[in-house]
Amino acid sequence: MDKITSLFKESELKKGEFFTKSGQYCEKLSFVRSGFIRVFANTNDKEITQWISTKGYFITDLYSFTFKQRAKWNIQALTDCELYTIDKENYALLNNLVPNWAEMEKQFIAGCFVQLEDRVFSHLSLSAEERYDKLFKNNKELFNQVPLQYLASMLGMSPETFSRIRNKKIS
């Protein structure tokens, strides 16, 4: 672990600053120590929130970072954030420094895929209210820290639907 952590550098992302923007190349991967970071895209004159990263999660545009393509996502701090960041060059060193790195990386990517599968399944099989309940149960802190329209977008519902469900739960 010491070998791995020595390649990560402490960094900050201030509220409103971008980690990366759509169309740029994302050359870094960060672990979120504190704060909230939104992953979103602009489409048809509106913003679609794909994910809100919180403490304990990694953040990057995986497509850009892995395949050296332009980023698909805008990644922006919703609050001041403390990060541990590794650049692409140091990330490449991990394969030589850590004997079982390929297996660890495979497990990490598999975990990301399982999380993505779970989100897709939820969108396809759960009602809007069930998706709201699931997010609230697993991420209560988001509801007091993140603008509600971003949560609505992440859950695939209109802000009005989100508010109606929220008001029903409060009363």
Confidence bin at 65 (pLDDT 50/70/90): very high
Is residue 136 situated within a structural domain?
A: no
Confidence bin at 135 (pLDDT 50/70/90): very high
Q: What is the rounded CA–CA span in Å between residue 146 and residue 53? A: 11
Domain that holds residue 20: 1-98
Q: What is the rounded CA–CA span in Å between residue 155 and residue 129? A: 10
Region of residue 156 (left: phi > 0; alpha: psi -120 to 50; beta: else): left
Is residue 17 situated within a structural domain?
A: yes
Whether 1 has a pLDDT exceeding 80, the answer reads: no
Give residue 87's pLDDT: 97
For the chain, first and last CA: distance in Å?
Answer: 48
Confidence bin at 44 (pLDDT 50/70/90): confident
Count up the domains in the chain and report the number: 1
Q: What is the rounded CA–CA span in Å between residue 71 and residue 74? A: 8
CB count in 10 Å sphere of residue 114: 10
- CATH number of the domain where residue 84 is located: 2.60.120.10
Confidence bin at 4 (pLDDT 50/70/90): confident
Paired residues of 136 in beta bridges: none
Whether 39 has a pLDDT exceeding 90, the answer reads: yes
Q: What is the rounded CA–CA span in Å between residue 101 and residue 65? A: 17
Is residue 148 situated within a structural domain?
A: no
Confidence bin at 3 (pLDDT 50/70/90): confident
Q: Which of 39, 55, 44 is nearest to 150 (CA)?
A: 39
Structural tokens at position 142: 């988001």
Whether 68 has a pLDDT exceeding 80, the answer reads: yes
Kindly report, residue by residue over 89-102, the tens digit of the pLDDT.
999 999 888 889 89
Is residue 51 situated within a structural domain?
A: yes
Is residue 64 situated within a structural domain?
A: yes
Q: What is the rounded CA–CA span in Å between residue 32 and residue 135? A: 19
Is residue 71 situated within a structural domain?
A: yes
Is residue 32 situated within a structural domain?
A: yes
